[in-house]
Structure 1
Amino acid sequence: MSLPTERTEGHRSPEQPQRAEATRLTPLREGPLLVEGPVEIVMPDGTVERCDRPVVALCMCRRSLRSPFCDTSHRPRLRRERREREKEEKAEKAEKDKQEEKAEERAPE
């Protein structure tokens, strides 16, 4: 199923102004969603958050204390997870090397 690339008149609500250009959204791998601003975000309680920056980073990890805006809370956790993964990989490699050494010692020459 493909998504429409253009909005037709029938899909636009009357209160939406017609835009000259499409708004650009750029999802970053393991990071926020970048939106070319300025933007207004309608929150679940009906309040409107406005940001006039040229590019706005919206939190995708739900760790931000400034939600819906990204405060880079995703960074420390990613580093910790990466360190733990590298530590596990190093331990696995050491175990594999140890098993290979034992196998070599047992093998007749």
Structure 2
Amino acid sequence: MVTEPIQRAIEFIEASFAQPVPLATLAAAAELSVSRFAALFRAQVGISPHRYVCLVRVRHAERLLRGGVPPSVVAAEVGFFDQSHLGRHFKRTLGITPSACLAGR
């Protein structure tokens, strides 16, 4: 079960994933201290806030890639530093590369 403070942070991530999402900003959105927020988030969501942000970015990247957007553009659109940064997180999360995703549209 996700409590209201953690739900507020999740909603903030969903709305702001393409921008830098500092832990302190998420904790402020949840109205908790940084350490308390990080512990509660992991306990309730099952992964760290950073991993969750990456997961949201990869989910959006996959949608864009399947829509035919080039990986270099997708990386910038969803908040990754560059195409290789996208590729690392994409493969870690989904088990395939962005180019394999493009090929399997």
TM-score, normalized by the shorter chain, greater than 0.5 = no
Which of these two proteins has the greater Rg computed from alpha carbons? 1
- The TM-score with structure 2 as length reference comes to 0.29
Higher strand share: 1
